[in-house]
Amino acid sequence: AKIETMSAEVVDSNPYSRLMALQRMGIVKDYERIRTKTVAVVGVGGVGSVAAEMLTRCGVGRLLLYDYDKVELANMNRLFFRPEQCGMTKTDAAAQTLRHINPDVAIESFTMNITTVDGFDQFKASVTHPDSGSSRVDLILSCVDNYEARITINQVCLELQQTWMESGVSEDAVSGHIQTLIPGETACFQCVPPLVVASGIDERTLKREGVCAASLPTTMGIVAGMLVQNTLKYLLHFGTVSRYLGYNSLKDFFPTMEIKPNTACSNGRCLDAQQAHQAHINSPEALAAAV
Ligand code: ATP
Ligand code: ZN
């Protein structure tokens, strides 16, 4: 009987009706809020491009894309980019495809390196509201493949009190992870050295010079899926937002954990954020609300 009811539901040609069904089924309270959300995707490579496509198909309001690189034939073992886009910047090629898939999404593309002195300022300005000086994005997704870029995102997010999610795929392409970073509440990217998780997964996603890293569309697609699923849960308030979710494809092992902030973190902004967070959770209002 249940199946009959479901198939009797109107399935029109509007792609949003399948998303709105999440609301009818009680998973999400107000799916349409997605249209008011702004997400920045930094790094439009194997993970970032797929994450951007998922967000576009989910109908996010605004998508900011950052990358300095061009599409190459060597990228064709991943998803998303097509051979005829070789030579285009990744941000322009992605904007072209994504606008075609869903013209309702406002896409801003930034072809730039976020780690240079100017790049840092431009990146920060682009996610800052010109009037209020606070963040104008709801979430920043890190889909870069190197330490410096992650440190830059960490710094901008600490300065703006902006929550972000980090992702990584190991150099041997068989494991990956996602992580949610909330200034003051969770570890920042500098609180702990690059993760070598006790579970036996080598999470060092640092790029070694002169070494050709392996990559698989499967692992990158799965990590992008984990990242955007966590993004939807965070933005639309359903389920549990993972603080850390690992993926080990050889063992089909998905470890989760919490990473507490380090009270001896080398980043002063992180220490300030930790103090503010402690003051907040010990405030009379917060204590009253917890009862
Ligand atoms: P590979 O190095 O294996 O050929 P890739 O460089 O395309 O792959 P991915 O892991 O697929 O790497 O994606 C990471 C993306 O992040 C790349 O497109 C890269 O250009 C981008 N990126 C890395 N650092 C920065 C940075 N500082 N500023 C902007 N984009 C960056
Ligand atoms: Zn820290």
Beta-strand pair 106-111/175-181: unpaired
Nearest to 62 by CA among 135, 153, 148: 135
Residue nearest to atom 2 of ligand 1 (CA): 213
CA of 60 from ligand 1 middle (Å) equals 23
Q: What is the pLDDT along the chain (291 residues), one digit of tens a residue?
A: 454 444 445 556 788 888 989 999 999 999 999 999 999 999 999 999 999 999 999 999 999 999 999 999 999 999 999 999 999 999 999 999 999 999 999 999 999 999 999 999 999 999 999 999 999 999 999 999 999 999 999 999 999 999 999 999 999 999 999 999 999 999 999 998 755 443 444 444 555 666 789 999 999 999 999 999 999 999 999 999 999 999 999 999 999 999 999 999 999 999 999 999 999 999 888 888 877
Which ligand has the minimum distance to the alpha carbon of residue 79? 1
Strand order in the sheet with 164-169: 106-111, 62-67, 38-42, 139-142, 164-169, 175-181, 244-248
Residues marked active site are found at 212
Cα 14 from Cα 185, distance rounded (Å): 40
What is the number of the ligand 1 atom nearest to the C-alpha of 212? 3
The reply to whether ligand 1 has any atom less than 6 angstroms from the CB of 115 is: yes
Q: Which residue has the tokens 């041997």?
A: 172
The reply to whether ligand 1 has any atom less than 6 angstroms from the CB of 128 is: no
Cα 231 from Cα 237, distance rounded (Å): 10
Cα 206 from Cα 139, distance rounded (Å): 23
Beta-strand pair 244-248/175-181: antiparallel
Q: Which of the listed residues 44, 65, 69, 111 should we mutate to test ligand 1's pocket, taking the one with most ligand atoms within 8 A of CB?
A: 69
Instruction: Please give the distance of CA 198 from its chain centroid, rounded to a whole number.
Output: 24
Q: Looking at this predicted complex, what is its ipTM? A: 0.96
Cα 110 from Cα 53, distance rounded (Å): 17
Torsion, CA 140, CA 145, CA 149, CA 153, rounded to 10: 20
Cα 95 from Cα 155, distance rounded (Å): 26
State pTM to two decimals: 0.92
CA of 149 from ligand 1 middle (Å) equals 9
Nearest to 77 by CA among 173, 216, 213: 216
The reply to whether ligand 1 has any atom less than 6 angstroms from the CB of 67 is: yes
The reply to whether ligand 1 has any atom less than 6 angstroms from the CB of 168 is: no
